[in-house]
Each structure stands twice: as C-alpha cells, then as structure tokens.
Amino acid sequence: MAPRAHPGCTTSAIDFLVIGSGVAGLRAAVGLSRRGRVLILTKGGPAEGSSIYAQGGVAVAPEEDDIALHREDTLRAGKGLCREEAVQILVEEGPSRIQELIEWGARFDKVGGEYALAREAAHSRSRILRAGGDATGTEIVRTLLKRARSLRRIAWREHHFTTNLLLDHEGRCAGAAVIDESTGILTSIPARAVVLSTGGAGQIYARTTNPPSATGDGIAMAYRAGAVVEDMEFVQFHPTALYVPGTPPFLVSEAMRGEGGILRNIRGEAFMRRYHEMAELAPRDIVSRGIWNEMMETRARHVYLDVTHLGPAFIRKRFPTIYATCLRYDVDITEEMIPVCPSAHFMMGGVKTDVHGATSIPGLFGAGEVACAGVHGANRLASNSLLEGLVFGARAAEAAGGYATKHGSKRKDQPEMGTSILSKREIPEPTDWDKVLNSLRRLMWNKVGIIRNREGLLSAITRITEWEDELRGLCRTRRDWEIQNMMTVGRLVATAALRRTHSIGAHFRSDESASRSAVRNRHIQLSTATLEDRPAEIHLN
C-alpha cells in the first residue's frame, strides 16, 4: 500500500524537501521529522527505486574487533581512495542504525535463534545480515516506510518529478522545481533545506541491474545548479547478472558465490583462480574483468555460475527470489548452471558531500548512491551500500536540521510556491529521443564500460555533447528530463575516466599511461565551473 500524505501538511507549509524515497531518503525523512515538516518527492511510485532490489544483504560488524576489520576491508577494496573518516563513521555507526531498524520491526533471518551472517567477496569475515533469504532491501524499505507513515510531519508526493534545484540570490538551495507527471504542471516548492537521495544512474548503460528509474537525476540537477561531483569514473559493474536474450538483466547476488558458487566459462572450466587467489570471492572489479576476458577469449556472450552442487533445498530456501526469477525465464538453477555476464550496478561517485551530507551548495545535502562521501573509493565493498544509506541518511537529516535552525525559518527573497503549465509551443520537429537514448546506452557500454581507452572516451564525449546541444531547452516531460540527465551523467563519467589515465579499482584503462603520479591518489572533481558549462538559469527571482 502506497504511503499517504498527512492532510494537514501542504507543499506551501513544508520545511524540508527529501527528493527520493529509497533507504537513504526514508531514513533522512524520519530524522528530519523531528525538526519540522517534511515532504518526500518521488517520481513514479514508491516501489520504483533501487533499494528494494538489494538482494545480498547489509554489512554490519556487531563485535568490536570486527569493526576494525570491516574498516580495513572497506579501505582495501577502495584502493587507497576512500576517505578514512567516512569509512570509520560507516563501520562505527552502522550497528546502531541496524539495531534501530530491528526496534522498528525489521525481520532479519535467523538460524538457531541467532542472526544469520553470510560472507561476500573481499570481506574477511561473515558479517552480511540478510532478510527473506535474498530480499534484504525490500525488508529494510518496508520497515522504514512503516516508520515514516506513522509520523504525521511527513508527507508524500508520488509521480512528481524534480527537474531542477532552486537557488536564492545568495547561492543557497531554497527548494526545487517539480513537474506533476499527471497534469504537466510545473511547481516551485520552497524549503529551508533539501536532501537529495535519488539513487544512481545505471540506466546510462545498455546492460544494468538497476531499475528503469535509475537515470542519474539527482547528480545531473545538482551539477546544473553548480555543485561539485566527484569520482564519476568509478562505476561498479556487478560480475553476475542473468543473461537471457530478450529479457532485462537481473542481479544474481554475490552471496551465491559466498555460499560456494563457481564461475565457469562456456567450456565448463572454472577460471577465477587464474585471476586472483580469492577466486570467486575476489573484489568485484577483478571478477568482472575476469569474466569479460573469458567471454572475449571464448567468443561468448556470457559465462556460467554453477550452484547445482549446493543442493535444491538449500538453494530454494537461501535464494528464493533468484530461484523464482530464473525459473520464470526457464532456468532451473537447482539443475542447471546460470548464464551470467557483468552489468552496470553501482555509482561509487556522485555529488560530493562531507561526512554530514553537506554538498558544495549551502542548504543542499545528499545521501545514498547519489552522493559521494568517500566511503567507497575506487571500488565498493559488497553490501556496504544499504548501510551507507542508513548511516548517512541519518547524518544528512541532522545536518540539514541544524542548517535550517541556524539560517532561520524563511529568507526574505524566498517566494511562496508558484505554478505554471509547461508550454508545448515553439518546439521544433520532434527527434526520436528514445532512439537516441538507446544509442547513448550502447555508446556508454562500448566506450565507457568495463575496459576504456582514450580514443573511445573522446569519441563518447564528443557524441554526447552533440546530443546535449540538440536537446537543450526542449525538455517538457519526465522522459525528456530523464534523457537529458542521462546524457549529462554519461558525459561526466566519460570526462572523469579520460582524466584518470591509469587503472585503479573499477576504472580500467587498456592504454594506461606510464606516468601515474599526477592523479593516482587524488579525487577527480568536476563542476560547471571546471568544465566551462553554461550554468542553467534556475535561480529564484
């Protein structure tokens, strides 16, 4: 059942805007409700985000000695580009956020009365807490939704697409411009502070485990407003997505390899020992490239994940969602190997924030996959993403609440809410933008994918820039804006990948430069100022 807005909380009376309703956004909204009235904006319905698709689990280290190990595992996976303060906060505050969920009614799996803890790639211990076997994201979202719906200060507006952030004359974020998807009415909604929690941008790639809603909207709108984005070259490709021609990629959880699943090429050969001593439990970037190399060498479009030796009863109980989904596509994973190949999965980069969720724009905060607090570095450790959403969603709420208190209730130059109907006049002969979008996604997959080089990156940037120029000023609908946002994010990923001339973590250059010193241990930051883009005219009058 969809959440209902409290009738006494209107958009003209809200204090805080939360854009996005995944784990990070819901946790931020719950925290902000202690400070004032909150409006959650979400395009489409509440079940369209990525959080509910998280299968493997949430990494948590309840024991003091394992907190240090969790920190080290995270730093090791990040290849020297994690911000240590952010990682320390993640592992120290994570257990409290999980305990909070349990108190709110979250039902995590147990074995013999104790919580079941699994192990995934690059983790030195079993610390992955799960729910429903492979439905952890769904359970966490259910719990947070129930909690948020119980709070009268939280209101929702579903099917409301945020096009741009609004700035006051001092350059502070003071609200957002929003389209009602059902009427086409454009509304400016003022707020004392805004929290971005719009998720990732996997849809910029031809193959992705992300849902259709993952179009990079938050990153693009923050960038247009002048915010700094960081680490955009680091896109994590999940090694194992179901490969069945004619069907969308479906994530086959890393937990399957954690339970003993074996990767085999189309000849039936186990191959991961050739690429890393940890074999199937090597970091994700290494497993993805290992699979890619096997596909190239055998001229195949996929490899196999073999779990048949684990036993039918165990498989059906431990991985009920994966079992049922694969069976729907005529793959019985208890009897036959699963055809898999890598797919774009997670953005390690995003809108740069500090450890409190503050961006470079005063009044704008971010949490979750849209943000880059420095937790993941060059390569995300498995199952840290849900934890990141919980920890930094709560922190962003505290910081946004404090900011609003410090800067008063309403500034003199902040107008009341206004509305207008989007004009459909003066639009030239329509371009087939869905066709262009398909071309963009193929271009990103081929030129800015798992393996990159200078020539491919330059060609991608050139072509995307041409498309952006053609679309500029023509956005009227949610789909128009999504396509523009994907173009913007695609260009940012390609630009950052071009600037980082060496391979590290999830970023792999086949033409790696001999000179490594320039940016090896630095974060690549981009903004409208550094790329000389013309800033969008989205200030409030």
- Sequence spans of domains, the chain: 238-342
What is the amino acid identity at position 416? Answer: E
Active site residue 499: no
Q: In whole angstroms, what is the distance from residue 531 CA to residue 273 CA?
A: 42
**Closest CA relative to residue 191, chosen from 442, 416, 504:** 416
CATH 3.90.700.10 corresponds to the domain 238-342: yes
Q: In whole angstroms, what is the distance from residue 44 CA to residue 178 CA?
A: 13
- Give the tokens for residue 510: 């086949």
DSSP assigned state of 270:
B
- Give the tokens for residue 193: 């502070």
Q: Is the dihedral of CA 86, 90, 92, 96 positive or negative?
A: positive
Find how far residue 167's CA is from the centre of its chain.
Answer: 25
Per-residue pLDDT of the chain (541 residues; tens, 9 = 90+): 333 333 334 555 899 999 999 999 999 999 999 999 999 999 987 666 655 565 668 999 877 778 999 999 999 999 999 999 999 999 999 999 999 999 999 999 999 888 988 887 778 888 989 998 878 889 999 999 999 999 999 999 999 999 999 999 999 999 999 999 999 999 999 999 999 999 999 999 999 999 999 999 999 999 999 999 999 999 999 999 999 988 888 889 888 998 999 999 999 999 999 999 999 988 888 999 999 999 999 999 999 999 999 999 999 999 999 999 999 999 999 999 999 999 999 999 999 999 999 999 999 999 999 999 999 999 999 889 999 999 999 999 999 999 999 986 554 444 444 444 444 434 445 578 889 999 999 999 999 999 999 999 999 999 999 999 998 888 889 999 999 999 999 999 999 999 999 999 999 999 987 555 455 678 999 999 877 554 333 333 2
Global pTM value: 0.89
Is 296 exposed, middle or buried (CB count within 10 Å of its CB: 0-12, 13-18, 19+)? Answer: exposed
The residue from 71, 284, 318, 395 that is catalytic is 284
- Give the tokens for residue 334: 């208890």
SS3 452: strand
Q: What are phi and psi of 18, to 5 degrees?
A: -115, 120
Q: In whole angstroms, what is the distance from residue 198 CA to residue 214 CA?
A: 8
Q: Is the dihedral of CA 411, 417, 422, 426 positive or negative?
A: negative
